[in-house]
Chains A and B, each alone.
Chain A
Amino acid sequence: MKKIFGLFLVFNLVFVLCACESETNAEKDGMISATREIFAMDTYMTVTAYGENADKAVEAAEKEIYRLDSLLSTGNTDSEVYKINSTGEGSLSEDTEKLIEKSEWIYENTDGAYDITVYPLMDLWGFTGDKQAVPDDEDIKRVADVCGFDKLTYADGFIKLGENMGIDFGGIAKGYTSDSIMRIFEEYNITSGIVSLGGNVQCCGNKTDGSMWKCGITDPDNHNDTGSLMGVISVSDKAVITSGGYERFFTDEKSGKTYHHIMDPKSGYPAESGLKSVTIVSRDGTLADGLSTACFVMGKERALDFWRKNSDKFDMVLMDDNRKIFVTEGIAKDFTSEYDFEIVKKRQNCDNS
């Protein structure tokens, strides 16, 4: 009898041990993951990482977001950018210097379609605050004349702005931040993760099942309905960033005309280039962010010409005002849509020759 009783005790022990074991295994199989939701840079962000250090990695990412926000904010009186804008000059930290260099590259290579000096124009139109209105033509011309990256100088970590100038990294800061988070993920040996900084997405590696991340691109005409997409792009280790006039806009009461927030630095008016949205896919989040704005301003033909010269750096999905979708060939096989789309080749067809 004692033996049988002893046997039962052993059974019970084994059961309890199994129960503990199965719990830890289940956690391992399901991959440890951590997600943070953060309100910063005037938007809502989510950061997710998978792996053993997931918790630590997302915590470090959150800190980095707050650090960059306090450095680059145009409204925070303690920020480096605020100080530069209010005094017209200032020393550049490592981060702002990198941002200036990247901004200059995009400015020069897109013929000024992306310009960090449009800040006074954004301010004039009211896009830096809550109240937007169409300014007088004269005011627009006056302020547009002040803008231009070529009117600022920087060297040896010091920047000097021209009269009444102002800079804003708003069109590139979120991409730079997601780039930084990817580096943090690497430091913590995270091989799978995804961040969305107010809809600007950057993916680390693949999903935990080894498949690519599926990023749904918002339909510009149905942007309030998250179920409505213009297409889906599958990526690994890439940033996917969209710019469109549907993001921020206002309607002028007098004319009934709608004005969006993407300024054409040359005209001083919101860009009317015939595009509804531009989605850039690139390993470089900072570049993707800046180029989404630049290509939107340039319009389809100029954007595609620019892509042909730089197709090693990025790919893109365009939707024009007639809802026609164009996808560059580098990502065409990873793009799906319920609508028809045209694949743009690097080499134009030579039918005539």
Chain B
Amino acid sequence: MKKGILKRVKYDIFLVGILITVGAAVLLTAVFNGQGGEYVCIKTDGEVSAVYPLTENRRVVINGANGTNLLVIENCQAYISEADCPDKLCVRQGKISMKGQSVICLPHRIVVEITGQEQKDNSDIDVIVK
């Protein structure tokens, strides 16, 4: 009887081991797929105003409909660090990094979204001289 329980515990541990392995594999795939392809797309009043690679650290002042928000892209994560909107909900939405995630500031009509592709005209041009 005792032996039987011990065996079952061993199988349980075995099962947990498999689960952890599968979990790690899934995580690994997510990490691999998550690298390199993402862009931070900024939409003000429904229109794309700027697109930045998620891999480049930067701070961007977004001029929205009724005020401004400070977007920080850091270590492959994007978040609103400051805003002069009344509710500050955008700041509280925290950091985003996965495709499809977004931070929205309704009072300023700003949407910051992680996208899979750079959505920009003249995408092979690095800079505009004017």
Residues of chain A having any CB pair with chain B under 8 Å: 1, 4-5, 8-9, 11-12, 15-16, 18-19, 22-23, 26-27, 29-30, 33-37, 48, 54-55, 194, 196, 198-201, 207, 213-218, 223, 226-227, 229, 232-233, 240-242, 244, 247, 279
Binary contact readout B36-72 vs A (1 if CB under 8 angstroms, 0 otherwise): 1000000000000000100111111100000000000
Q: How far is the CA of A214 from the CA of B24 in the complex (A)?
A: 42
16 A-B residue pairs with Cβ-Cβ distance under 8 Å, sorted by A, are: A4-B14, A8-B18, A9-B17, A11-B21, A27-B55, A37-B59, A48-B56, A196-B127, A199-B130, A200-B129, A214-B124, A216-B129, A223-B130, A226-B121, A241-B129, A242-B129
> Are A35 and B35 interface neighbours, CB within 8 A?
no
List of A residues within 8 angstroms of B61 by Cβ: 37
Cβ-defined partner of A36 (8 Å) among B31, B59, B122, B130: B59
Q: In the complex, A232 Cα to B129 Cα: how many Å?
A: 9
Contacts of A227 in B (CB 8 A): 121-122
Question: How near does chain A come to B26, taking the closest CB pair, in angstroms?
Answer: 10
Contact across chains for A12 and B31 when beta carbons are under 8 A apart: no
Q: Min CB distance, A229 to chain B, in Å?
A: 7
B17→A232 contact, CB < 8 A? no
Which 6 A-B pairs have CB atoms at the shortest separation, nearest pair first? Answer: A199-B130, A8-B17, A15-B24, A35-B58, A218-B130, A26-B35
Q: Nearest B residue to A54 by beta-carbon distance?
A: B57
**Closest CB in chain A relative to B118 CB, distance in Å:** 14
| Alpha-carbon distance between A26 and B59 when the two chains are bound, in angstroms | 22
Contact assessment for B57 and A34 in the assembled complex, using a CB-CB cutoff below 8 Å: yes
Bound complex: CA of A22 vs CA of B30, how far in Å? 12
Partner of A34, one of B21, B58, B129, B130: B58
Q: Which residues of B contact A216 (CB under 8 A)?
A: 122, 125, 127-129
Interface code B11-35, partner A: CB below 8 Å = 1, 0 otherwise?
Answer: 0011001101100110110011001
Complexed CA–CA distance, A189 and B52 (Å): 24
Is residue B10 within 8 Å, beta carbon to beta carbon, of the partner chain?
Answer: yes
The secondary structure that dominates the B interface is mixed
Whether A242 contacts B130 in the complex (CB less than 8 A), given A34-B58, A229-B125, comes out as yes
For A4, the chain B residues whose CB sits under 8 A away are 14
| Further 10 A-B residue pairs, CB within 8 A, beyond A196-B129, A214-B127 | A12-B20, A15-B27, A22-B28, A22-B31, A35-B57, A37-B61, A200-B129, A215-B128, A229-B128, A247-B130
List the B side residues contacting A27 at CB < 8 Å.
55
Query: Smallest distance from the beta carbon of B32 to chain A beta carbons, Å?
Result: 6
Which residues of the partner chain A approach B36 to less than 8 Å between Cβ atoms? 26, 29-30
List residues of chain A with CB within 8 A of the CB of B125.
Answer: 214-216, 229, 232
Closest to A219 in B: B130
Max count, chain A CB within 10 A of own CB: residue among B20, B52, B126: B126
Closest residue on chain A to residue B76 by CB atoms = A27
Q: Would you give the shortest CB distance from A210 to chain B, in whole angstroms?
A: 14
- Who on chain A is nearest to B61 by CB? A37
Instruction: Give the residue among B13, B32, B57, B130 with the most A Cβ atoms within 10 A.
Output: B130
Is there an interface contact between A201 and B14, defined as CB atoms closer than 8 Å? no
A15 — nearest CB in chain B belongs to which residue?
B24
CB contacts (< 8 Å) of B56 on chain A: these are 33-35, 48
With A8-B18, A15-B24 already in contact, the answer to whether A218 and B129 are too (CB < 8 A) is yes
Nearest Cβ on chain A to B22's Cβ, whole angstroms: 10
Given A8-B17, A30-B35, A215 contacting B126 (CB threshold 8 A): yes
Question: Taking the nearest CB of chain A, how far is it from the CB of B120, in angstroms?
Answer: 9
Assembled-state Cα–Cα distance A240/B25 (Å)? 49
Indicate if the CB atoms of B58 and A37 lie closer than 8 Å.
Answer: yes
Query: CA separation between A115 and B71, bound complex, in Å?
Result: 41
Q: Verify A8–B59 contact, CB threshold 8 A.
A: no
Which of B10, B122, B129 makes the CB contact (< 8 A) with A240? B129
Closest to B56 in A: A33
Closest B residue to A34 by CB, please name it. B57
